[in-house]
Structure 1
């Protein structure tokens, strides 16, 4: 029997799963996916999870059943990768070592809890990880419930601070405001007081984005009575308040921090070239600079197109996963590597129940139409993963 190409993928995110699916089409490959979590978390749907439009089963896919859905040439190991020996081509986990011929690093990024902000890590929440999103969802619902209990007594406003007015911060603020408004009104509760404060270090929200999307998003925030604090930032917080750089102190029930990201912990341990922010630097063919057989994709790597920085998104990660799979096959077949021409194929911003704005194929869309397009894309993505997961589930239980 011919020797199979041993390919390891570290990380079951958007880019990692795209690479697994592409490489699994070749019978000469054996792909090993390693992740410390047993599930793939669809971060683009986290806002619907928080707003009760989806449960956690609809924003995650079991990696055991997903990998079992391929034709015997994909394996999944729920283990934490501690380091990589690039000289001897070995991935070192908390329980064993795996040899590889080709390696894809796709571990993503995490919320950066800035050390200079006193109390941030202790009193703020992030939502990039599923367990953090679930914890925040429960805390949000319990806070709403407590306000209902207070109806007719004191009924102090529920105050939520969202730090960071980029894409994540805006979507979180709008979804919570939209959900709370509908929750209170549709259930005829007397207590309907909710304050959501969005803190932006820039003059405008969604810095660097298309002007049309910015204006539509600002109007939506205004309509939902979200307060925007511009040109200021969080400098410290306690369990009950946030202090801003302009000296203002805001009482709050809890805070979501969406002020930036950093590489996941593994990246700091790897002996590879990185930029000033700690993210991996890669070539135009997506492999790391010192090892042609090692590729880095998704949020853990910095990508440029003609010297222009490409913002990390699920769409970009998937394109990277597809190209790095092609280039691994090019290496195997002794062909020239393909340089990337990756760019954003569009953007859709969720702005509350059944409303979104976006730019797709160069055209602006908004309202229910944009929401419908976003839902269609998400459904197709989930169905692709679910198909393999169902096949794997049947295979496991039939054995």
Structure 2
């Protein structure tokens, strides 16, 4: 009888689920997935959630039924991992210790709320679902309150987004287009909107393709978004935001997308990390000192020709594929495969029915790019949903 391979995956994000899809094909792999939440959050679609184009059900996947959809060799435990004993190959949760032969750390990242910025408790992040849902409600209530004020002297709605990376740009574009469409469609007089994107760099979308940057800048101007480059948020008090150049902006609410940091577990793990606190890995995605342990997704940093590869869902899935292959190579005592990861394309959502994209070296923008982005998102969701439906059928039959 062949020996089974005990594989533990920590984190039910893009990287974790893709790893399961590959490894579950081998029935000798007995896989446990741990996550403190019972759902997978499709964060790439948060801009649609905020603007009511999608609801809670469309941006989440139930991890219980997903894991049940495989051939009895995958199980999900809704437990928070508190530490890992790497020397004895034990994953420790709040309730139990679990042994592993191979471990995949895929816990992702979170919004970095910098302690040096006073008043960040008044800001919202969107990397976690509960924060995104809370902000969505606040956004809708702000629109309603401005409508309720009415009259020609209604105060403007002041929206501030701090951070002009991909998340910040997509969210500010979606809010701008949604808000203006909302006012126009309902013929409300109170159409005054002040939407500001605060960016610490010289340009938005730092590190991204220059043509996409220019297309995005043009679109933001068309939407009436005011971009303030080379400035930082230094404080806020619930009604205003103070910038590093001394300017004070009125604020109804603010999204903080000014950076990311590893999730809490990473700080507790006794592993080598880089200067930003992310797990160090080798060319095979293994952590230092422990060949049977891999780190993938946003909790680690990888490089392409010496340059940091931006953390995206596409990159996370590619990392998962290399990770799964190398675990199989370890099992079979084969040579490991060094990762070769590059973006397969970029699709930037820039408001309702509009996107900018670069796919296979070709640039296009507008409604066509938007449709392509929605197709990519739907294909991803359908792939996971097919597995989850099999899991539902098994549960109903049992």
Q: 1:37 aligns to what? A: 37
Q: 2:275 aligns to what? A: 276
Once the two structures are superposed, residues 140-184 of structure 1 have per-residue CA deviations (whole angstroms, 9 ceiling, x without a partner) of 001101111111274211101100111111111100000001111
Q: 2:218 aligns to what? A: 219
Q: 1:76 aligns to what? A: 76
What is the distance in 2 between the residues matched to 1:207 and 1:22? 33
Once the two structures are superposed, residues 299-355 of structure 1 have per-residue CA deviations (whole angstroms, 9 ceiling, x without a partner) of 000101232211111000000001100000000000010001111111110000110
What is the distance in 2 between the residues matched to 1:250 and 1:206? 23
Which residues in structure 2 correspond to 1:1-399 (within 5 Å)? 1-120=1-120, 122-152=121-151, 154-399=153-398
Match of 1:117, SS state, is coil
User: Is 2:202–2:229's contact at 8 Å kept on the other side of the alignment?
Assistant: yes
Match of 2:290, SS state, is coil
Q: How many residues align structurally?
A: 398
User: Is 2:152–2:189's contact at 8 Å kept on the other side of the alignment?
Assistant: no
What is the distance in 2 between the residues matched to 1:278 and 1:191? 46
What is the distance in 2 between the residues matched to 1:332 and 1:231? 50
Match of 1:281, SS state, is coil
What is the distance in 2 between the residues matched to 1:221 and 1:305? 30
Cα separation, partners in 2 of 1:185 and 1:153, compared to 1, 3 Å: closer
User: Is 2:278–2:301's contact at 8 Å kept on the other side of the alignment?
Assistant: yes
TM-score normalised over the length of structure 1 = 0.98
Once the two structures are superposed, residues 2-54 of structure 1 have per-residue CA deviations (whole angstroms, 9 ceiling, x without a partner) of 33100000000001000001000001111100000000001110000001100
What is the distance in 1 between the residues matched to 2:192 and 2:94? 48
What is the distance in 1 between the residues matched to 2:184 and 2:96? 55
What is the distance in 1 between the residues matched to 2:277 and 2:30? 31
User: Is 2:315–2:343's contact at 8 Å kept on the other side of the alignment?
Assistant: yes
User: Is 2:152–2:190's contact at 8 Å kept on the other side of the alignment?
Assistant: no
What is the distance in 2 between the residues matched to 1:29 and 1:214? 44
Between stretches 327-336 and 188-197, larger displacement belongs to 188-197
What is the distance in 2 between the residues matched to 1:370 and 1:87? 49
Shift of 1:190: 2.1
What is the distance in 1 between the residues matched to 2:153 and 2:101? 65
What is the distance in 1 between the residues matched to 2:231 and 2:144? 31
What is the distance in 1 between the residues matched to 2:321 and 2:203? 35
TM-score normalised over the length of structure 2 = 0.99
User: Is 2:15–2:297's contact at 8 Å kept on the other side of the alignment?
Assistant: yes
What is the distance in 2 between the residues matched to 1:68 and 1:183? 42
What is the distance in 1 between the residues matched to 2:88 and 2:162? 44
What is the distance in 1 between the residues matched to 2:59 and 2:118? 32
Match of 2:273, SS state, is coil
Unmatched 5+ stretches in structure 1: none
What is the distance in 2 between the residues matched to 1:76 and 1:144? 40
Match of 2:275, SS state, is coil
The ranges of structure 1 where at least 4 consecutive aligned residues each deviate by more than 3 angstroms after the TM superposition are: none
Match of 1:208, SS state, is coil
What is the distance in 2 between the residues matched to 1:116 and 1:234? 10
What is the distance in 1 between the residues matched to 2:181 and 2:98? 51
